[in-house]
Every structure is written in C-alpha cells, then in structure tokens.
Amino acid sequence: MSNDRTKVLVIGGGFGGLFCARSLGHADVDVTLLDRAACHVFQPLLYQCATGTLSVGQISRSLREELAEHRNVTTLLGEAVDLDAEARRVIARRPDDTTFTLEYDVLVLAAGMRQSYFGHEEFSKWAPGMKTLDDALSIRRRLYAAFEIAETLPAGPERDGWLTFAIAGGGPTGVELAGQIREMATRALANEFHSIEPEDARVLLFDGGQCVLSGFAPGLSAKAAKILERLGVDLHMGVHVTDVRREGITVTPKGGGSDEEYAARTVLWTAGVEAVPFARRVAEVLGATSDHSGRIAVEADLSVPGHREVIVIGDLVGRDDLPGVAENAMQGGLHAAGCIRHDLAGKPRKDFRYRDLGSAAYISRGHALLEVGPVKLAGFLGWLGWGFIHIAFLTGVQNRISTVATWLSSIARARRTDRTFMLGSPASHEQPYTWSACGPVSTERKQLRT
Ligand SMILES: Cc1cc2nc3c(=O)[nH]c(=O)nc-3n(C[C@H](O)[C@H](O)[C@H](O)COP(=O)(O)OP(=O)(O)OC[C@H]3O[C@@H](n4cnc5c(N)ncnc54)[C@H](O)[C@@H]3O)c2cc1C
C-alpha cells in the first residue's frame, strides 16, 4: 500500500461502517475501520441472545475475520474519543485507557446510537438497555437468575418481586423482550422448577404512546397488542416510567393523575436512544447542528455542511426523518463508498436516496409483523417473512446455518440452548449483580480486593 493513497477512516463497524468498508474493499484507497468492540453485532437478534435462544457467536462476527480478504482494509480495536478537524486526525482510546491517533482524508462517521435514559443515567444501574452484547448478557443473567432466586424464596411479596419483569418501551425491542420472557416462562422453564411456577411470572410493558409498535400500521399494532395479551403480557400504555429502583419502578400517567408503583426486581430499558458521545463531539468540533438526540444535520450527500470530507451514515443521520433501521445504515454505507469513488474519479457525488424496503417485528413464536409498502402481514406469514429477512442479513454463512438450525430445534422443542450466564469473579471490580452492589456481597468483595 502506498502512502499517498486516500486514507478513509470509518468509525464504527455496525451495519453502516461494515457495508462501507466492504464496498471499498477493492477501491484504490486505504481504509481503516475502528470499532470499540472489534466485532460486528447483529443488533436485531440481540434479544434472542439475551433470552438464551442464540449464542453471542451466532449474532456477531469478528470484523478482522469478516474483512480479512480485503488487503486495503485495516481493522482496529479502539474507541474514538476526539477529533482534530484541522489536522484531520481522530484520537482513539485503547481498552487499557492509553490513546493513539489516526489520520484521515475522508472520515465516515458510523458510530450509531446508545440507549438514552432521558437524563436519568442513574436508572441504568437497575435497568440495562439493549444495544450491545454486554447488555444482552447482562439481561440474560438477570432473567435466569431472577427465576433461580425466586425458587429459593418462600411464597410472598419478595418472591413475587423476583417473578415480576418490567420493561420500559413498547417499540420492537420492548415487545420482543416481553414476548420472549413470557415464552421462556411458559415453555422452556415450565417444568423445571419445584417451588415456583415459572408461568406465574408477570411481564409488564410500559409505553408513553397509546399502542405498542406505533411505527407500524394501526391494524398491525392492534394485532400485536392482542397477541401479547394472549401470551400474558400486561400492557400499560400512556404512561412514563419516572423512577427505577432496586425493588421496582414508578410510572406517571402522561395525561395526568397519580403515580403508580410496581414491585419488580428485573427492569429492562428500551425506551429511547441518543447519539454516542463521539458523535456529539464531532458535531461540536465541526460546528454542525444536531437534534435533541444528537443526530447530525447533513447535506443531501450525507456530508457535514462545510466539511465534504466528513460523511455521516446510519442511525446518526439527522435528515429527512430517515429511520433508525439497519437498511438505512447499509444503504448509507454503500452511498458513502460511492461518494469516495466518485471523488477519486473526479465526478460529482450523488444525493443519498433511501429506499424503504419495509419493516418487521417479532412478537412470539409463530407471530411477527411485516409491513412492506401495501403488504401488511401479521401472524404466521409475517413470522416466516421476518425469519427470511433476518437470516438474509445475518453476517457470515456459518452464523446463518447455525441460527436456522437453532431456530428449527427451538420450534420443535421448548429448549433454549444458551442459558449459561456469568457471575464474574468476586475479586474483580465489576459488579455483575447490580442488586448486590449495596448489599453485603459488595463488602465481601471489598475485603477480597484488599
Ligand atoms: C435491540 C435492537 C433491535 C433492532 N432490530 C431491528 C430490526 O429488526 N430491523 C432493523 O432494520 N433495525 C433494527 N434495529 C436497528 C438497527 O440495528 C440500527 O438501525 C443499525 O444497527 C444502525 O447501524 P449503524 O451502523 O448506524 O450503527 P450500529 O449498528 O449501532 O454500529 C455502530 C458501531 O459503532 C461502534 N462505536 C460506537 N461508538 C464508537 C466509538 N466512539 N469508537 C469506535 N467505535 C464506536 C459500535 O461498537 C458499533 O459497532 C435494532 C436495534 C436494536 C438495538
């Protein structure tokens, strides 16, 4: 590789960044793809990893392995933390907290969004979000451990608290989690316990809107609500979760009225997203406008106004109400690569045109919604369509084959094959059980460390 080739730096190896880097795989440029996790995660199936159907390996792939055949693409582990726009440099942090510098001629910002707690970061201690593999494994630990703890308790309010699962957010992720927890309780765990009846587990789903899955056509979201209720999910619409504690939550009706409290030892948060901190930093350094969630306003070619060399793609794009979906990120990745090729050829860049290929949401076994233009499917046909789409976009042929095999086996039998959860080492600084952070175990941990 010669040093005078155009240096393209892609921040983030999600759908947008991966598609961009892959598409530049044979172009006359040097590409560096930086990701803080070093792997591509198929976020749409995170909830299946969290609830024990799929393994971490089935929904993710090492970026190094994925891009190994492209000799002009270098993949690096690190978190972009700062930008020197004048010198065209990005400062990145290694996991050991040391930093390094990366130069660019073109910067593609594909760092995506993170969970938003709407200014209440303290909720995250009790209510993990659902954006990363760490989140999925944390949720898996909490779900399965809740049933285990309940099994050791006598009948009563404490046990009921452990068998109550509260989910904030009635979008696709909240709905998927709610459905999966009820399915776990009524199928996979149904006959395994002696003291508790797992099917007694209560799943409460809270949302500020009037219906779940409000992004879908009204008829479809009404069907989704019926399916959830049939599964045993309690829907609480028109309310905001306004407090999250160790033992439960408080919800406030949107239209006024008194607060209500619910005892729940497992709370999951899927209610909102916001730009990752580096994206906010980029907007600040470049003087770019961003919306309340941190999406960056861009030109029609997705470049930052006044900075043709910085292209924003995927969830971070703040233009034309583009949806935060994988398809938008993939198309953005291909578009950014196209812009770079046009620049090299001295041709004008094209405007980004998003082609809406529809949306799908899983509800429960045999039930999913699929909306593609005028085609609106719910139930079994929607479920088949959902399955085909997800397999088609899963990264890696091996992952596709093993996921189909796992799904077929979980349809035939109630089992979930990836239920193992980690407790962490008592001597480590991590606190895998947030509920023990203020209890006696943390004292024990402190003693072990000293
Ligand atoms: C649980 C869940 C379910 C979903 N289901 C669906 C679905 O069914 N259908 C659908 O179309 N969409 C779905 N989505 C949305 C879809 O996954 C996103 O729209 C898509 O991933 C956005 O792609 P992206 O490339 O913009 O960002 P991401 O895919 O989020 O990738 C961002 C990457 O940047 C990395 N990164 C972040 N900050 C830094 C930094 N500072 N330095 C280096 N690297 C960084 C991250 O590690 C990550 O790899 C779902 C999302 C979630 C969370």
Q: What is the pLDDT along the chain (450 residues), one digit of tens a residue?
A: 456 899 999 999 999 999 999 999 999 999 999 999 999 999 999 999 999 999 999 999 999 999 999 999 999 999 999 999 999 999 999 988 899 999 999 999 999 999 999 999 999 999 999 999 999 999 999 999 999 999 999 999 999 999 999 999 999 999 999 999 999 999 999 999 999 999 999 999 999 999 999 999 999 999 999 999 999 999 999 999 999 999 999 999 998 889 999 999 999 999 999 999 999 999 999 999 999 999 999 999 999 999 999 999 999 999 999 999 999 999 999 999 999 999 999 999 999 999 998 888 999 888 999 998 888 988 888 888 888 888 887 877 888 888 888 888 877 777 888 999 888 655 655 444 443 444 443 333 333 333
Distance (Å) from CA 14 to ligand 1 centroid: 5
Q: CA gyration radius for the chain? A: 23
Q: Please give the structure tokens belonging to residue 30.
A: 């040097």
pLDDT, residue 428, reads 54
Nearest residue by C-alpha to atom 39 in ligand 1: 111
Nearest residue by C-alpha to atom 26 in ligand 1: 314
Closest atom of ligand 1 to 34 CA is: 43
Distance (Å) from CA 73 to ligand 1 centroid: 21
* Torsion angle of the four alpha carbons 357, 358, 363, 366, in this order, in degrees rounded to the nearest 10: -70
Task: Output phi, psi for 81, to 5 deg.
Answer: -125, -25
Q: Could you give the residue ranges of the DSSP H alpha helices within 273-426?
A: 277-286, 326-345, 379-393, 397-412
Closest atom of ligand 1 to 325 CA is: 19
Ligand 1 neighbours (beta carbon < 6 A): 11-17, 34-37, 43-44, 46-47, 79-80, 110-112, 130-131, 172-173, 276, 278, 314-315, 324-327, 329
Nearest residue by C-alpha to atom 3 in ligand 1: 44
Nearest residue by C-alpha to atom 12 in ligand 1: 325
Which run of H or E residues covers position 445? helix 440-449
What angle (nearest 5°) sits at the alpha carbon of residue 58, between those of residues 55 and 61? 125
pLDDT, residue 285, reads 98
Nearest residue by C-alpha to atom 28 in ligand 1: 14
Cβ-based burial of 429 (10 A; exposed 0-12, middle 13-18, buried ≥19): exposed
Nearest residue by C-alpha to atom 4 in ligand 1: 44
Instruction: Given the residues 176, 183, 274, 371, select the one marked as catalytic.
Output: 176
Given its phi and psi angles, is residue 386 left (phi above 0), alpha (psi -120 to 50 degrees) or beta? Answer: alpha
Mutate to test the pocket of ligand 1, among 32, 41, 43 (most ligand atoms within 8 A of CB): 43
**Residues whose CB falls within 8 Å of the CB of residue 340, separated by 6 or more in sequence, listed in order:** 6, 8, 24, 27, 29, 106
Match 């760092």 to its residue by tokens. Answer: 111
Q: Could you give the residue ranges of the DSSP H alpha helices within 204-288?
A: 218-231, 277-286
Predicted model pTM: 0.91
**Residues whose CB falls within 8 Å of the CB of residue 432, separated by 6 or more in sequence, listed in order:** 138, 141, 422, 423, 424
Mutate to test the pocket of ligand 1, among 325, 330, 335, 383 (most ligand atoms within 8 A of CB): 325
What domains appear along the chain, each with residue ranges and CATH number?
A: 6-115+274-345 (3.50.50.60), 121-271 (3.50.50.100)
Cβ-based burial of 39 (10 A; exposed 0-12, middle 13-18, buried ≥19): buried
pLDDT, residue 391, reads 86
Annotated catalytic residue 176: yes
Which run of H or E residues covers position 151? helix 133-151
Distance (Å) from CA 359 to ligand 1 centroid: 16
